[in-house]
């Protein structure tokens, strides 16, 4: 893979107010994309789960300069888009439009991040949307199984012990003043990253960013909670009954690693082989294709600023839950004992380098990658080093990584019809 971004092509600057900005020119694209990260995710909710998600959803509903509908109409007229969302670790802004509209697009982004008005009527609309989503998810066996897994796998004070959606009682009770206070504390330039990619001249783009965000002031955010989760010492199992359902969904896994863990790339490749490559990897091939027991079966590794879960997820008939779990564990044990075959390892390496290249073909994809590189301190030469990083992951490293998913000590969460009555 030829790196689509070389370190020398990226201009990085920290503005006087503390905002870190990265710009990469993409001549001839005719478009421009923005991607911003702020340390304003659910890990800062503390005892108010859902607060960060509420704030993120409310930002585009009106600023001190534009009503929400007027902002949406202005973006639509430009043929541009702008979204804000908040996950467990960060809040993010993504926007794209014509390169000639960069000043206006930056202006709208600055308004949304710096000057939200939290109009009372819009706050109530957002509250209603969030509560509806929580109630709908409470009837979704996939979501119920995930929430149960999080409660069982992580300590109660760990950000990954709960969904960033929050709970119904908390979201119903959050008032406008609380939203404003969270915004003042966490939406500050010193804890923000903004990447700009497109048909722009880097120094001019930096000037535009500095102009748009000149009035943004604020100190660093409070530190995130000390988030540690010990792996389970034995099998921890929980089941939740969801009335009216005929399918069971299961989540089987362990706390994983953060993005900076030395074993991250080996775990990423182990996860790819187990439940991603081809038709959902080895697990999908065995549980879904060969045994025909699952509607879906795959594995997923969530590694970010915090150590998220490494889990296998599957949807099965209730009578097949135990058989599916046994088949999943058998595939994990097989990888732990034998490792990948040479052709399998070669396919995994090709997939990882090729899929990254595809992701970076779009201007928004490039912008997000730049922001990721800054967020995780990967270095501006990361994409130049990436093929060598992947090639250096050995079979032995993958075996070692796979053994961090013990088959004798894990968390299993199942949601579906009441199996005790069967």
For the cut 50, the answer to whether the pLDDT of residue 196 exceeds it is: yes
User: Would you mind telling me the total number of residues written for the chain in this entry?
Assistant: 422
Which tops the pLDDT comparison, 96 or 46? 96
Round to whole Å and give the CA distance between 234 and 411. 8
Average pLDDT for 92-97? 98
Per the prediction, the chain carries an average pLDDT of: 94
For the cut 90, the answer to whether the pLDDT of residue 304 exceeds it is: yes
For the cut 90, the answer to whether the pLDDT of residue 223 exceeds it is: no
| Burial group, residue 14, by CB count within 10 angstroms (0-12, 13-18, 19+) | exposed
Residue holding tokens 């009441």? 418
Least confident of 189-203, 231-245, 349-363, 377-391: 349-363
- Torsion, CA 284, CA 289, CA 295, CA 297, rounded to 10: -10
Question: pLDDT class for 7, splitting at 50, 70, 90?
Answer: confident
Average pLDDT for 345-371? 92
Round to whole Å and give the CA distance between 59 and 86. 11
Average pLDDT for 156-177? 94
Round to whole Å and give the CA distance between 368 and 188. 20
CA distances from 395 to 137, 141, 284, 343 (A): 40, 36, 21, 11
Which two three-digit tokens encode residue 334? 């097989």
pLDDT above 70 covers what percent of the chain?
A: 98
> What's the pLDDT score for residue 386?
94
Average pLDDT for 270-281? 92
pLDDT above 90 covers what percent of the chain?
A: 88
Which two three-digit tokens encode residue 290? 């060969």
Question: Dmax over Cα atoms in the chain, in whole Å?
Answer: 68
Question: pLDDT class for 3, splitting at 50, 70, 90?
Answer: low
Average pLDDT for 206-235? 86
Which two three-digit tokens encode residue 203? 């120094």
Average pLDDT for 257-266? 95
For the cut 70, the answer to whether the pLDDT of residue 152 exceeds it is: yes
Q: Pairing between strand 20-25 and 10-14?
A: antiparallel
Span 309-341, pLDDT tens digits: 999 999 999 999 999 999 999 999 999 999 999
> What's the pLDDT score for residue 421?
58
Helix boundaries (H) for 252-301: 264-275, 277-283
Q: Is residue 88 classed as helix, strand or coil in its secondary structure? A: coil
Average pLDDT for 5-22? 92
Question: pLDDT class for 10, splitting at 50, 70, 90?
Answer: very high
Question: pLDDT class for 416, splitting at 50, 70, 90?
Answer: very high
Q: Is residue 54 classed as helix, strand or coil in its secondary structure? A: helix
The phi, psi pair for 21, rounded to 5°, reads: -125, 135
Round to whole Å and give the CA distance between 360 and 195. 14
Do 6 and 384 meet the contact criterion of CB atoms below 8 Å apart?
A: yes
Average pLDDT for 172-194? 96
- Per 3-state DSSP, the chain is made up of helix, strand and coil in percentages (nearest 5) of 50, 20, 30
Average pLDDT for 215-220? 84
Question: pLDDT class for 220, splitting at 50, 70, 90?
Answer: confident
For the cut 50, the answer to whether the pLDDT of residue 1 exceeds it is: no
Residue holding tokens 């859902």? 50
Average pLDDT for 267-284? 93
Q: Which of 94, 64, 101, 60 is nearest to 79 (CA)?
A: 101
Question: pLDDT class for 422, splitting at 50, 70, 90?
Answer: low
Half-sphere exposure of 299 (CA within 13 A, CB side): 32
Domains and CATH numbers, the chain: 7-212 (3.30.830.10), 236-421 (3.30.830.10)
Average pLDDT for 353-374? 92
- Torsion, CA 240, CA 411, CA 142, CA 331, rounded to 10: -130
Helix boundaries (H) for 167-320: 168-173, 176-186, 202-212, 264-275, 277-283
Q: Is residue 194 classed as helix, strand or coil in its secondary structure? A: strand
């Amino acid at each position: 893979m030829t790196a689509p971004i070389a370190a020398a092509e990226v201009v990085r600057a920290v503005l006087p107010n503390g905002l870190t900005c990265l710009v990469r020119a993409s001549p001839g694209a005719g478009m421009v994309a923005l991607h911003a990260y702020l340390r304003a995710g659910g890990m800062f909710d503390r005892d108010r789960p859902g607060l960060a998600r509420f704030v993120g959803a409310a930002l585009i509903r009106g600023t001190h300069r534009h009503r929400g509908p007027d902002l949406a109409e202005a973006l639509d007229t430009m043929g541009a888009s702008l979204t804000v969302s908040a996950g467990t670790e960060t809040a993010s802004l993504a926007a794209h439009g014509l390169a000639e509209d960069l000043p206006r697009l930056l202006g709208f982004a600055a308004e949304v991040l710096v000057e939200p008005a939290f109009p009372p009527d819009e706050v109530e609309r957002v509250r209603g949307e969030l509560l509806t989503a929580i109630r709908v998810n409470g009837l979704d066996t996939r979501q119920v199984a995930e929430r149960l897994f999080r409660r069982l796998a992580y300590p109660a004070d760990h950000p990954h012990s709960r969904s960033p959606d929050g709970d119904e009682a908390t979201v119903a009770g959050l008032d406008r003043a609380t939203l404003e206070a969270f915004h003042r504390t966490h939406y500050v330039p010193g804890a923000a990253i903004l990447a700009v990619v497109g048909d722009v001249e880097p120094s001019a783009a930096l000037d535009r960013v500095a102009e748009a965000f000149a009035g943004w002031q604020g100190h660093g955010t409070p530190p995130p909670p000390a988030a540690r989760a010990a792996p389970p010492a034995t099998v921890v199992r929980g089941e939740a009954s969801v009335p009216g359902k005929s399918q069971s969904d299961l989540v089987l896994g362990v706390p994983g690693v953060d993005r900076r863990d030395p074993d991250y790339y080996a775990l990423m490749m182990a996860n790819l082989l187990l439940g991603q490559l081809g038709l959902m990897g080895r697990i999908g091939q065995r549980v879904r294709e060969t045994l025909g027991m699952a509607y879906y079966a795959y594995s997923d590794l969530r590694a970010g600023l915090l150590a998220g879960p490494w889990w296998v997820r599957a949807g099965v008939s209730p009578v097949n839950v135990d058989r599916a779990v046994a088949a999943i564990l058998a595939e994990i044990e097989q990888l732990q004992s034998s490792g990948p075959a040479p052709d399998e390892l070669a396919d995994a390496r090709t997939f990882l380098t090729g899929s990254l290249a595809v992701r970076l073909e779009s201007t928004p994809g490039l912008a997000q990658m730049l922001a990721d590189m800054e967020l995780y301190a990967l270095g501006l030469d990361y994409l130049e080093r990436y093929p060598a990083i992947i090639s250096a992951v050995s079979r032995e490293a993958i075996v070692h990584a796979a053994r961090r998913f013990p088959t004798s000590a894990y968390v299993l969460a199942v949601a579906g019809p009441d199996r005790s009555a069967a």
